[in-house]
C-alpha cells in the first residue's frame, strides 16, 4: 500500500499559493542541488493561476533559481497556440511570462503537427532527450508533476474508464474523445506521472469534494487521480476548504 498522501487544507487562494510555492521551491532547490536542473510539468485548468502569485514573489525575492527550470506540460488540447483553450497560452499568461525560466527551457506540446498522435510521439522524444534524470528502466524521471483534478476525478487528460488509463509503456499519448472539450488532446500517461520524484495536486472548489476522499485513497473506489501513487515519493494535495468538505 503506498503512503497516504499529505493533504493541506487552505482557507483561501493566498494560502493555496503559499503552500504550493513552499513545496515547489523545496522540490526545485533539492533537484537543483542534486543534478543541476529542475524538470517540472504543469497542468492546465485553474492550477497555473492558483500557484502563480507565490512563485512570482519567489522570483522577485530570488528564493528559487528559475534558470535551472525545464518546464514541461502535463497535457495540451490539440488547438492552436493562440486558442483560448490552449494550456501553454494559459500557463504563459498566468505564470511563465512572469518568472525568469529561460524560454529555451519551456517545452510546449507541438499542436502545429498534422495529427495529435504525431504530437504525442514528438513529445515523448522531447521528454526523453531533455530530462537527464532517469528511472531504473532508463525512462525520463521528472522531479515534480503538478496536477489538477476534475469533478469526475480525471487528472491530466486521463478520464474515468478511458483505455489510456491502462497504458503501461508510453510516457506520452493522445486521445480524440476527451469528455472535457476540446476532444483531441496530448497527455502524459500514468507511467510518466508515477515515475516522477514528487507530485503536487491542486484542487479547489466544492465540485471536487465528492471525489477528493477517493482520490487520496480513503476508500477502495478507483478514479484516475487515485491511480497516481508512489511507494516512496511525496504526494501533496493542496486543497481549499470547500474541496475538503467531505473528507
Ligand atoms: C486540462 C487540465 C485538466 C485539469 C482538470 C482540473 O487540460 O483540462 O490539465 O486535467 O487539471 O480538468 O481543472 P480545474 O482545476 O480547472 O478544475
Mutate to test the pocket of ligand 1, among 16, 43, 159 (most ligand atoms within 8 A of CB): 43
Residue 188 grid coordinates: 502524459
| 75 touches ligand 1 (CB under 6 Å) | yes
pLDDT greater than 70 at residue 175:
yes
User: What is d(CA 33, CA 153) in angstroms, rounded to the nearest whole number?
Assistant: 34
Ligand 1 atom closest to residue 45's alpha carbon, by position in its atom list: 16
> How far, in Å, from the CA of 223 to the mean position of ligand 1?
15
| 46 touches ligand 1 (CB under 6 Å) | yes
Ligand 1 atom closest to residue 87's alpha carbon, by position in its atom list: 7
Q: What DSSP string describes 179-207?
A: SSSSS-EEEE-HHHHTTSSEEEEEE-SGG
| 150 touches ligand 1 (CB under 6 Å) | yes
What's residue 147's pLDDT? 98
Nearest of 212, 211, 237 to residue 20 by alpha carbon: 237
Hey, which residues does 234 pair with through a beta bridge? 198
- Higher-scoring residue by pLDDT: 46, 4: 46
Average of per-residue pLDDT across 5-28 = 97
Residue ranges of alpha helices (H) inside the chain are 13-35, 47-60, 87-91, 116-130, 190-193, 212-215
| 76 touches ligand 1 (CB under 6 Å) | no
Nearest of 221, 234, 145 to residue 189 by alpha carbon: 145
Segment 127-147, tens digit of pLDDT: 999 999 999 999 999 999 999
> How far, in Å, from the CA of 151 to the mean position of ligand 1?
9
Segment 54-91, tens digit of pLDDT: 999 999 999 999 999 999 999 999 999 999 999 999 99
CB 145 within 8 A of CB 51: no
pLDDT greater than 90 at residue 4:
no
What's residue 222's pLDDT? 83
- H or E, element range at 145: strand 144-147
3-state secondary structure of 77: strand
What's residue 229's pLDDT? 82
pLDDT band at 27 (very low <50, low <70, confident <90, very high): very high
What's residue 109's pLDDT? 98
Segment 82-137, tens digit of pLDDT: 999 999 999 999 999 999 999 999 999 999 999 999 999 999 999 999 999 999 99
Q: Whose CA is nearest to atom 17 of ligand 1?
A: 150
Q: By CB neighbour count within 10 A (0-12 exposed, 13-18 middle, 19+ buried), where does 25 fall?
A: middle
| 74 touches ligand 1 (CB under 6 Å) | yes
| 178 touches ligand 1 (CB under 6 Å) | no
Mean pLDDT, all residues of the chain: 95
* For residue 182, cis peptide bond before it (omega within 30 degrees of 0): yes
User: What is d(CA 176, CA 118) in angstroms, rounded to the nearest whole number?
Assistant: 13
pLDDT greater than 60 at residue 1:
no
Segment 183-240, tens digit of pLDDT: 999 999 999 999 999 999 999 999 999 999 999 987 777 899 989 986 567 899 999 9
| 184 touches ligand 1 (CB under 6 Å) | no
pLDDT greater than 60 at residue 167:
yes
| 187 touches ligand 1 (CB under 6 Å) | no
pLDDT greater than 60 at residue 2:
no
Amino acid at each position: 500500500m503506498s503512503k497516504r498522501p499529505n493533504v493541506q487544507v487552505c482557507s483561501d487562494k493566498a494560502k493555496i499559493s503559499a503552500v504550493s510555492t513552499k513545496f515547489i521551491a523545496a522540490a526545485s532547490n533539492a533537484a537543483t542541488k542534486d543534478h543541476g536542473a529542475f524538470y517540472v510539468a504543469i497542468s492546465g485548468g485553474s492550477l497555473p493561476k492558483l500557484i502563480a502569485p507565490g512563485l512570482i514573489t519567489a522570483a522577485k525575492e530570488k528564493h528559487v533559481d528559475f534558470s535551472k527550470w525545464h518546464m514541461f506540460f502535463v497535457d495540451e488540447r490539440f488547438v492552436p497556440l493562440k486558442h483560448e483553450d490552449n494550456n501553454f497560452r494559459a500557463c504563459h499568461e498566468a505564470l511563465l511570462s512572469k518568472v525568469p525560466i529561460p524560454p529555451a527551457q519551456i517545452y510546449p506540446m507541438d499542436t502545429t503537427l498534422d495529427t495529435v498522435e504525431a504530437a504525442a510521439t514528438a513529445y515523448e522524444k522531447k521528454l526523453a532527450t531533455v530530462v537527464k534524470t532517469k528511472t531504473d528502466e532508463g525512462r525520463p524521471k521528472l522531479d515534480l508533476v503538478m496536477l489538477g483534478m476534475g469533478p469526475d476525478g480525471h487528472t491530466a487528460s486521463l478520464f474515468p474508464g478511458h483505455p489510456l488509463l491502462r497504458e503501461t509503456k508510453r510516457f506520452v499519448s493522445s486521445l480524440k474523445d476527451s469528455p472535457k472539450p476540446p476532444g483531441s488532446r496530448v497527455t502524459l500517461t500514468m507511467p510518466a506521472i508515477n515515475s516522477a520524484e514528487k507530485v503536487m495536486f491542486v484542487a479547489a472548489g466544492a465540485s471536487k469534494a465528492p471525489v477528493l476522499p477517493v482520490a487520496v485513497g480513503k476508500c477502495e473506489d478507483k478514479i484516475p487521480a487515485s491511480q497516481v501513487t508512489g511507494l516512496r515519493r511525496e504526494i501533496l494535495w493542496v486543497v481549499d476548504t470547500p474541496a475538503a468538505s467531505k473528507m
